[in-house]
């Protein structure tokens, strides 16, 4: 399967969208843009009125809560109970419910859109997971997936930390190093989930094809800025730096960018 040409994406500044008041991602250029990509793809796939959306692997709710703020009927699940507890505690919306459990705890066929963001790289049996979603989702539903470039600079620099997380006490050591570097992880409360899959666009194309999915649209974002956020996110820097990096990424080949977002549909 060949990928379509990447769609252009706008940079999203801090506090520039109403939904950003409901997420810690507001202070992160990388995660703000990722959230904006997801919402843009969601808006093109399903209208908020009556739109049922499922997020699998929701972490602490930084994606699900802002989506719910736009009026979607939202369900979000994760296998990490402390993350679900934190997400539930900060959820102000009756149209959003959090569930502690795996994909088996929900029925993808009930939803018009499914969000799987920064999840596949953590799952050893990622093909089985994607095939299960594809096999059970509605024929007119959308699957929105985001994945980091597994062979980009940031992922290559993070490989030692992923290896450490696989050994006893390794996660604690990674946490101490992050504290020393003044970095902050906004994506999850579960520190014991290293990346185990390192994707290229070619591998993703084959994976989607094998699971009966095709790419309706995709976007690519950032070059080197995720490296700063990963290792130095609490250190100050000129506000123009992340935007400049983002604008440069929109002129690069997709394979050179830091992460990708896909809107998928069943064949």
Instruction: Please give the pLDDT value at position 72.
Output: 96
Structure tokens at 204: 């993703």
Residue whose structure tokens are 């506090």: 15
Rounded to 5 degrees, φ, ψ at 245 are: -65, -40
pLDDT digits (tens, 9 = 90+) for 155-206: 998 887 777 777 777 666 656 766 665 666 656 656 667 899 999 999 999 9
Q: Answer yes or no: are the C-beta atoms of 50 and 69 closer than 8 Å.
A: no
pLDDT digits (tens, 9 = 90+) for 68-127: 999 999 999 999 999 999 999 999 999 999 999 999 899 999 999 999 999 999 999 999
Please tell me whether the overall predicted TM-score, pTM, comes out greater than 0.95 for this model. no
The answer to whether the Cα torsion of 9, 116, 258, 216 is positive or negative is negative
- Which of 16-30, 160-174, 180-194, 220-234 has the lowest average pLDDT? 180-194
Strand order in the sheet with 113-117: 96-100, 73-78, 52-56, 113-117, 142-148, 259-266, 213-221
Instruction: Please give the pLDDT value at position 170.
Output: 64
């Amino acid at each position: 399967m060949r990928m379509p040409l990447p769609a252009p994406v706008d940079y999203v500044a801090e506090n520039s969208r109403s939904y950003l008041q409901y997420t810690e991602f507001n202070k992160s250029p990388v995660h703000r843009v990722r959230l904006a990509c997801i919402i843009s793809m969601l808006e093109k796939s399903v209208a908020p009125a009556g739109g049922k959306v499922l997020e699998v692997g929701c972490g602490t709710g930084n994606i699900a809560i802002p989506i719910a703020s736009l009026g979607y009927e939202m369900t979000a699940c994760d296998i990490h109970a402390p993350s679900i507890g934190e997400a539930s505690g900060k959820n102000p919306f009756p149209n959003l419910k959090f569930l502690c459990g795996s994909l088996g705890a929900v029925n993808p066929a009930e939803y018009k859109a499914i969000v799987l963001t920064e999840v596949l790289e953590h799952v050893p049996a990622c093909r089985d997971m994607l095939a299960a979603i594809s096999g059970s989702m509605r024929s007119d539903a959308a699957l929105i997936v985001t994945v980091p470039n597994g062979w980009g600079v940031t992922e290559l620099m993070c490989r030692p930390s992923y290896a450490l997380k696989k050994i006893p006490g390794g996660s604690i050591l990674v946490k101490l190093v992050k504290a020393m570097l003044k970095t902050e992880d906004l994506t999850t409360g579960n520190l014991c989930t290293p990346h185990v899959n390192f994707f290229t666009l070619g591998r993703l194309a084959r994976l989607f094809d094998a699971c009966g999915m095709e790419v309706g649209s995709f976007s690519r974002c950032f070059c080197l800025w995720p490296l700063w956020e990963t290792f130095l996110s609490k250190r100050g820097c000129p506000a123009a730096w992340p935007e400049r990096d983002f604008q440069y990424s929109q002129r690069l080949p997709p394979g050179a960018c830091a992460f990708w977002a896909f809107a998928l549909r069943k064949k």
